[in-house]
C-alpha cells in the first residue's frame, strides 16, 4: 500500500491476453499508477506476494487457474486489495458470484480506455478515502490515548501536591479534592467528592469565597481573593479561590487552593513576642543612660572638658534615637497583637488632636525656619471613636515626616474636613517628594529611602508602618500623592463615630 497521495498507485493486471495487459499498462501509467503484469492466476498470486498491489485488474476466463479461484485466494491473502474483474464472457451470474467473493467492480470486455480510466479512477478514489478514514481513526485513537495519559498525569500531580485542592461547581457541589485537602480538613483519606462544600469544611468564610469565585465571569487581575481560618484541628489555613471559566467566559465553578500557614503564624507570633520583650527590656536601661548623659552634660561646674562634651552630646543623640526606635517597636508589637493592650476606644476630637500635634512639633519646625499651619473648617469636625494614643501617633508621624523630609524654610500644612460620613486629614509638604516606584514600599517595615537629601535625616523606617497599622485597625485608608522635588501629600480617611 502506498502512503502518500502523490506516490504512484501499484496496480496488477492479470490477463492471458497480452494486448489487454499492455494496453492497461499504457493507459494507467499515465493516470498515476505503476503497473505490474501477470499472464495467469498463479503468476498473479506470485506477483502479489513479491510486491502487493492496491488494485488488481483480474480476467475471469484464463487457462489454468480460474479467475474466481484467484479472486478467492487474493481476498484471503490481501483482504484490503480492490479487485476489478474483467471478462469477455460477462453474465449476470458470474458478476454476482464475483461480487459475492469480494470483487470491488466489474469491467466487461471489450472496454474503451475511458471506461478503464473511469473504473480505476473510482477505485483510486476509494483507496484514498479508505486511507484518509484510517488516518483519522489512528489520530482519534492517539488523541484519546494522549487525553487519558494527560488526565492520569494531572490526577497524579493533584494527588501528590502538598497543597490542598478542592474544585466546586457553581452550586457549591464538590467535584474533586486531593488527599492533602482531606488531611488538612480532617477527613478520611478516601472521602468521596459529590456533596456540598459545607459537608467537607465547616468554615462559612470558605463557602462564601467559593460562591463569590463561582459567580465571577472573568479572570481577575492580581492575586486571587483569599481567606485565612482555623480548622477544628487547630491548623491555620489560607484558602485562595480562582474561578473556572468555560467557553465565552462563563463560570463553571471554582478551584480552591489551601495552604497550611500554621508554622508561619507560630513563627510570627514568636517573633512578635521576642521583639516586644527585647524592646521592653531595652527601654529602661536606655532611659537611664539618657538621663545620666543629660545630667553629665548639664551640671554646671562639673561640665566635662570641651572634647568630651562633644562626644557626650553625640552619645545622648544616639541614645535618644535608640529610645525612639524602641518606642516604635513597642508601638508596632502592640498593634500586631491586635491592639490587645491598646486602650478602650473613646471619642476623640480630631481638631483638638491636630492642634496638639501642631503645638508639639512647632519648635522643631521653627528651629529650621519652617511654617507649620493647620486648616480646620468653621463647623466642628465629627468625633472619632478610637484610642487617642494611636490617632496621635498617626498625625505626629505624618507631620514629623513632612518636616524631616523638607528643606529648611519649607511649608507644612495640616488640613482636616468631613466628607461623605468620613473624616479626612491631609498632611502636605513642599519637600523632597518620593520617586513613583518607591511610593509602594514606604509602608514596609524598616524601609527608608536613601539619597543625597535624606541621608542626614535620622529615622527607623517604622513611622509609616505604624500609621498604616493604626489606620487599618480603625477601618480607614492612607493615600499618598507625591512628586519628586515638588513635595508630598498624605491623606488619611477615617470613619467617624
Ligand atoms: P522614617 O521616617 O523613620 O525613615 P517612615 O516609615 O516614617 O520612616 O518613612 C519611610 C520613608 O518614607 C522615609 O525614610 C522617607 O524616605 C519616606 N517619606 C516618608 N514621608 C515622607 C515625606 N513627607 N516626604 C518625602 N519622603 C517621605
Residue 334 CA to residue 340 CA, distance in Å, equals 7
**pLDDT averaged over the chain?**
89
* 410 touches ligand 1 (CB under 6 Å): no
> Do 210 and 243 touch, CB atoms closer than 8 A?
no
Average pLDDT for 175-181: 93
In this structure, is residue 146 part of a structural domain?
Answer: no
Give percent of the chain with pLDDT exceeding 70.
Answer: 94
Identify the band that residue 389 occupies on the pLDDT scale cut at 50, 70 and 90.
confident
Task: Indicate whether 186 pLDDT > 80.
Answer: yes
In this structure, is residue 453 part of a structural domain?
Answer: yes
365 and 386 assigned to the same domain:
yes
Centroid of ligand 1 to alpha carbon of 227 (angstroms)? 31
Average pLDDT for 227-248: 90
Closest alpha carbon to 226 in 182, 183, 263, 256: 256
Q: Give the CA distances from residue 313 to residues 293, 317, 323, 354, in Å, rounded to whole numbers and listed in that order.
A: 8, 6, 15, 32
In this structure, is residue 24 part of a structural domain?
Answer: yes
* 400 touches ligand 1 (CB under 6 Å): no
126 and 177 assigned to the same domain:
no
Nearest atom in ligand 1 to the alpha carbon of residue 433 is 25
Task: Indicate whether 302 pLDDT > 80.
Answer: no
Q: Give the CA distances from residue 302 to residues 313, 324, 360, in Å, rounded to whole numbers and listed in that order.
A: 15, 28, 32
349 and 437 assigned to the same domain:
yes
> Do 272 and 333 touch, CB atoms closer than 8 A?
yes
Residue 470 CA to residue 390 CA, distance in Å, equals 6
Residue 165 CA to residue 255 CA, distance in Å, equals 7
403 and 322 assigned to the same domain:
no
Residue 110 CA to residue 91 CA, distance in Å, equals 14
Q: What pLDDT score was predicted for residue 250?
A: 83
231 and 369 assigned to the same domain:
no
Taking the model in full, what pTM does it have?
A: 0.53
Number of domains the chain is built from: 4
41 and 99 assigned to the same domain:
yes
Radius of gyration of the chain (CA): 45
In this structure, is residue 403 part of a structural domain?
Answer: yes
349 and 332 assigned to the same domain:
no
Residue 471 CA to residue 494 CA, distance in Å, equals 7
* 431 touches ligand 1 (CB under 6 Å): yes
* 445 touches ligand 1 (CB under 6 Å): no
User: Phi and psi dihedrals of 10, rounded to 5?
Assistant: -70, 125
Pocket test of ligand 1: the residue of 326, 393, 440, 448 to mutate, having most ligand atoms within 8 Å of its CB, is 448
* 178 touches ligand 1 (CB under 6 Å): no
- Residue whose CA is at the smallest distance from ligand 1 atom 19: 401
Identify the band that residue 232 occupies on the pLDDT scale cut at 50, 70 and 90.
confident
Helix H or strand E segment including 260? strand 251-260
Helix (H, G, I), strand (E, B) or coil at 449: coil
CATH number at residue 233: 3.30.450.20
Centroid of ligand 1 to alpha carbon of 398 (angstroms)? 9
Task: Indicate whether 244 pLDDT > 80.
Answer: yes
Q: What pLDDT score was predicted for residue 341?
A: 45
Verify cis geometry, omega within 30 degrees of 0, for the bond prior to 202.
no
Residue 131 CA to residue 5 CA, distance in Å, equals 10
Residue 334 CA to residue 341 CA, distance in Å, equals 6
Centroid of ligand 1 to alpha carbon of 193 (angstroms)? 52
* 279 touches ligand 1 (CB under 6 Å): no
Q: Strand order in 477-483's β-sheet?
A: 371-375, 411-419, 422-429, 487-495, 477-483
CATH number at residue 289: 1.10.287
> Do 384 and 496 touch, CB atoms closer than 8 A?
yes
Centroid of ligand 1 to alpha carbon of 497 (angstroms)? 30
Average pLDDT for 221-248: 87
86 and 21 assigned to the same domain:
yes
Average pLDDT for 106-128: 93
In this structure, is residue 323 part of a structural domain?
Answer: yes
Closest alpha carbon to 290 in 326, 324, 319: 319
* 427 touches ligand 1 (CB under 6 Å): no
180 and 283 assigned to the same domain:
no
379 and 327 assigned to the same domain:
no
Centroid of ligand 1 to alpha carbon of 480 (angstroms)? 11
Pocket test of ligand 1: the residue of 442, 482, 484, 485 to mutate, having most ligand atoms within 8 Å of its CB, is 442
Task: Kindly state the cell numbers that stand for 453.
Answer: 537629601
Residue 43 CA to residue 65 CA, distance in Å, equals 10
Pocket test of ligand 1: the residue of 397, 400, 405, 439 to mutate, having most ligand atoms within 8 Å of its CB, is 405
Q: Give the CA distances from residue 222 to residues 141, 238, 242, in Å, rounded to whole numbers and listed in that order.
A: 40, 17, 11
Nearest atom in ligand 1 to the alpha carbon of residue 328 is 3
Residue 433 CA to residue 416 CA, distance in Å, equals 21
Nearest atom in ligand 1 to the alpha carbon of residue 397 is 7
In this structure, is residue 392 part of a structural domain?
Answer: yes
Residue 227 CA to residue 478 CA, distance in Å, equals 23
Average pLDDT for 27-50: 94
Centroid of ligand 1 to alpha carbon of 452 (angstroms)? 14
Nearest atom in ligand 1 to the alpha carbon of residue 487 is 24
- Residue whose CA is at the smallest distance from ligand 1 atom 13: 448
* 239 touches ligand 1 (CB under 6 Å): no
Closest alpha carbon to 453 in 472, 436, 438, 431: 431
Identify the band that residue 140 occupies on the pLDDT scale cut at 50, 70 and 90.
very high
CATH number at residue 446: 3.30.565.10
344 and 490 assigned to the same domain:
yes
Nearest atom in ligand 1 to the alpha carbon of residue 464 is 6
Domain limits for position 318: 269-337
Centroid of ligand 1 to alpha carbon of 385 (angstroms)? 27
Task: Indicate whether 88 pLDDT > 80.
Answer: no
Centroid of ligand 1 to alpha carbon of 415 (angstroms)? 19
Centroid of ligand 1 to alpha carbon of 356 (angstroms)? 22
Q: What pLDDT score was predicted for residue 5?
A: 54
Question: pLDDT tens across 344-365, in order?
Answer: 789 999 999 999 999 999 999 9
Identify the band that residue 340 occupies on the pLDDT scale cut at 50, 70 and 90.
very low
Query: At which of 130, 147, 177 does a domain end?
Result: 130
Q: What pLDDT score was predicted for residue 307?
A: 72
491 and 404 assigned to the same domain:
yes
Identify the band that residue 312 occupies on the pLDDT scale cut at 50, 70 and 90.
confident
* 487 touches ligand 1 (CB under 6 Å): no
Identify the band that residue 339 occupies on the pLDDT scale cut at 50, 70 and 90.
low
Task: Indicate whether 292 pLDDT > 90.
Answer: no
Q: What pLDDT score was predicted for residue 321?
A: 83
Residue 30 CA to residue 20 CA, distance in Å, equals 16
* 388 touches ligand 1 (CB under 6 Å): no
* 434 touches ligand 1 (CB under 6 Å): yes
In this structure, is residue 148 part of a structural domain?
Answer: no
Amino acid at each position: 500500500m502506498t502512503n502518500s497521495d502523490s506516490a504512484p498507485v501499484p496496480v496488477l493486471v492479470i490477463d492471458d491476453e497480452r494486448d489487454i495487459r499492455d494496453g492497461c499498462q499504457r493507459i494507467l501509467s499515465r493516470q498515476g499508477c505503476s503497473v505490474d503484469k501477470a499472464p495467469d492466476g498463479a503468476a498473479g498470486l506470485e506477483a502479489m506476494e513479491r510486491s502487493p498491489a492496491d488494485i488488481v485488474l483480474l480476467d475471469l476466463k484464463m487457462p489454468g487457474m480460474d479467475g474466481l479461484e484467484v479472486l478467492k485466494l487474493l481476498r484471503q491473502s490481501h483482504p484490503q486489495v480492490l479487485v476489478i474483474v474483467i471478462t469477455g464472457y460477462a453474465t449476470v451470474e458470474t458478476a454476482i458470484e464475483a461480487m459475492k467473493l469480494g470483487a470491488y467492480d466489474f469491467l466487461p470486455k471489450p472496454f474503451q480506455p475511458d471506461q478503464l480510466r473511469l473504473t480505476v479512477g473510482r477505485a483510486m478514489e476509494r483507496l484514498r478515502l479508505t486511507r484518509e478514514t484510517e488516518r483519522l481513526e489512528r489520530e482519534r485513537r492517539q488523541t484519546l490515548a494522549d487525553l487519558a495519559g494527560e488526565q492520569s498525569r494531572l490526577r497524579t500531580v493533584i494527588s501528590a501536591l502538598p497543597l490542598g485542592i478542592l474544585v466546586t461547581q457553581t452550586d457549591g457541589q464538590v467535584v474533586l479534592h486531593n488527599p492533602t485537602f482531606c488531611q488538612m480538613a480532617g477527613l478520611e483519606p478516601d472521602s468521596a467528592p459529590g456533596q456540598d462544600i459545607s459537608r467537607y469544611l465547616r468554615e462559612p468564610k470558605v463557602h462564601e469565597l467559593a460562591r463569590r469565585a463561582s459567580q465571577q465571569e472573568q479572570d481577575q487581575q492580581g492575586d486571587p481573593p483569599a481567606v485565612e481560618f482555623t480548622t477544628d484541628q487547630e491548623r491555620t489555613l489560607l484558602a485562595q479561590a480562582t474561578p473556572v471559566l468555560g467557553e465565552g467566559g462563563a463560570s463553571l465553578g471554582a478551584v480552591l487552593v489551601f495552604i497550611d500557614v500554621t508554622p508561619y503564624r507560630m513563627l510570627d507570633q514568636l517573633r512578635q513576642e521576642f521583639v516586644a520583650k527585647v524592646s521592653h527590656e531595652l527601654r529602661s536601661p536606655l532611659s537611664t543612660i539618657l538621663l545620666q548623659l543629660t545630667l553629665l552634660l548639664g551640671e554646671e561646674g562639673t561640665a566635662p572638658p570641651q572634647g568630651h562634651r562633644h562626644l557626650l552630646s553625640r552619645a545622648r543623640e544616639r541614645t535618644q534615637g535608640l529610645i525612639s526606635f524602641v518606642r516604635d517597636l513597642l508601638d508596632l508589637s502592640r498593634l500586631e497583637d491586635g491592639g490587645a493592650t491598646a486602650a478602650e476606644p473613646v471619642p476623640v476630637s480630631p481638631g483638638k488632636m491636630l492642634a496638639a500635634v501642631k503645638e508639639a512639633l512647632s519648635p522643631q519646625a521653627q528651629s529650621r525656619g519652617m511654617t507649620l499651619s493647620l486648616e480646620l473648617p468653621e463647623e466642628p469636625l465629627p468625633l472619632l471613636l478610637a484610642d487617642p494614643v494611636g490617632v496621635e501617633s498617626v498625625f505626629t508621624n505624618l507631620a514629623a515626616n513632612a518636616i524631616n523630609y523638607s528643606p529648611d524654610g519649607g511649608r507644612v500644612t495640616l488640613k482636616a474636613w468631613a466628607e461623605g460620613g468620613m473624616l479626612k486629614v491631609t498632611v502636605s509638604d513642599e519637600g523632597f517628594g518620593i520617586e513613583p516606584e518607591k511610593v509602594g514600599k514606604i509602608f514596609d517595615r524598616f524601609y527608608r529611602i536613601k539619597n543625597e537629601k535624606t541621608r542626614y535625616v535620622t529615622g527607623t523606617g517604622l513611622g509609616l508602618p505604624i500609621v498604616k497599622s493604626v489606620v487599618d485597625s480603625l477601618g480607614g485608608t492612607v493615600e499618598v500623592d507625591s512628586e519628586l522635588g515638588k513635595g508630598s501629600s498624605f491623606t488619611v480617611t477615617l470613619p467617624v463615630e
